[in-house]
Amino acid sequence: MNWKAAPLIHKDENRIALYFEKNQDLIQQVKQISGARWSQQKKLWHIPDTIENRIQFQIQADPTQQISLEAIHYLEKFKQWLQSKRYSQNTITTYSEALKTFLLFFPEKNIPEIDNNDVILFNNNYILHKKLSESYQNQIVNAIKLFFKIVMDTKIDIDKIHRPKRAKVLPNVLSKEEVKLILNAHSNLKHKTMLSLIYSCGLRRSELLNLKPADIDSKRGVVVIRQSKGKKDRITPLSQKILELLREYYSLYRPSIWLFEGQNAGEKYSEYSLQSVLKQALQKVGNTKLVTLHWLRHSFATHLLESGTDLRYIQELLGHNSSKITEIYTHVSTKSLQQIKSPFDDL
């Protein structure tokens, strides 16, 4: 393979950066690697930093990052348990790598002897020292709690492992006018249909790409979203305008397996290409915000709330487990704020 590989820390994750001249065949090979992602910021492809990938791409391990045979044994037991419980491959990879990072911090200590004080030490001397994010610390906590609860019989008191206090960050929301401009920016029917379906149904990126033609139930007027986050099925309303757009799209493209396919028949449209579709739309309408596909989902929920839809229904449409997650949209809705008169107007 005509590329070079090197360790990389990207968004608090240990990754492997791949360097190669632009070549469609090589890009397709990279896309087949589980967990491969494109970094728009760094302009490169990167993959999970796993033992298997290090061997495949001939990356020499850092002597300070050598994991013991004991740790490898326990990590394998942890992976096997996660697989038997049918956790998603992304979750298995995330938890395994998070736990590996934690165990590497105690190379001289027997794993059964690790206790709560060691967790505090790790948080202070590794996570806080490296200024890693709360979300990454949460991943570590999830992995540690599950590992010591299920695999180990140790001195760890699970209830005393505290999660970091989460920052209260409001979701990014576009106005209806901005959404309309973005959705109408593309003359390409497939691109327009994909972005429109994400907004009209409040879909996650993966949910759109996993749709099959049979999931569009025109008789019942719903879109069926199968085995989404948390391995749950749900339905969301299918608007008449979207149905007309989908029928036009289907008659032109005739997808065979996936509703939205790549250049080759039967090949699922890639996440990177979908993000590129949005980026092109933003450029065409002159929108300079750092908009992601998830902004369309946030905008869907907020616009529903502003039009008077009950929060409980929005929770069902989005597939949220808890109403507390959905309630965050009440903080960005402008419906009530617009009725408040500023005292400045009376000066």
Q: Determine whether 136 is an active site residue.
A: no
The catalytically annotated residue of 204, 212, 226, 268 is 204
DSSP per-residue letters across 273-329 = HHHHHHHHHHHHHT--S---HHHHHHHHHHHHHHTT--HHHHHHHHT-S-HHHHGGG
Task: Answer yes or no: are the C-beta atoms of 5 and 33 closer than 8 Å.
Answer: no
Q: Determine whether 73 is an active site residue.
A: no
| Residue 51 token pair | 């033992």
- Nearest Cα neighbor of 199 from 208, 186, 188 is 208
The catalytically annotated residue of 10, 190, 229, 284 is 229
Task: Answer yes or no: are the C-beta atoms of 157 and 166 closer than 8 Å.
Answer: no
Q: Determine whether 320 is an active site residue.
A: yes
Locate the DSSP E strands across the chain: 4-10, 13-19, 37-39, 44-48, 216-217, 222-225, 234-237
The catalytically annotated residue of 10, 145, 268, 294 is 294
End-to-end Cα, the chain, rounded Å: 71
Task: Answer yes or no: are the C-beta atoms of 5 and 17 closer than 8 Å.
Answer: yes
Query: How many CA atoms, within 13 angstroms, populate the side-chain half-sphere of residue 139?
Result: 21
Q: Determine whether 294 is an active site residue.
A: yes
Which residues fall within 8 angstroms of residue 317, CB to CB, at 6 or more apart? 201, 202, 234, 236, 237, 301, 304
Which residues fall within 8 angstroms of residue 196, CB to CB, at 6 or more apart? 183, 242, 245
What are 6's strand-pairing partners? Answer: 17
Q: Determine whether 297 is an active site residue.
A: yes
Amino acid at 290: L
Kindly list the strands in the beta sheet with 216-217, ordered across the sheet, starting from the edge strand earlier in the chain: 216-217, 222-225, 234-237
- Nearest Cα neighbor of 278 from 211, 202, 181 is 181
The catalytically annotated residue of 37, 100, 297, 303 is 297
Distance of CA 199 to the CA centre of its chain: 17
Residues identified as active-site:
204, 229, 294, 297, 320, 329
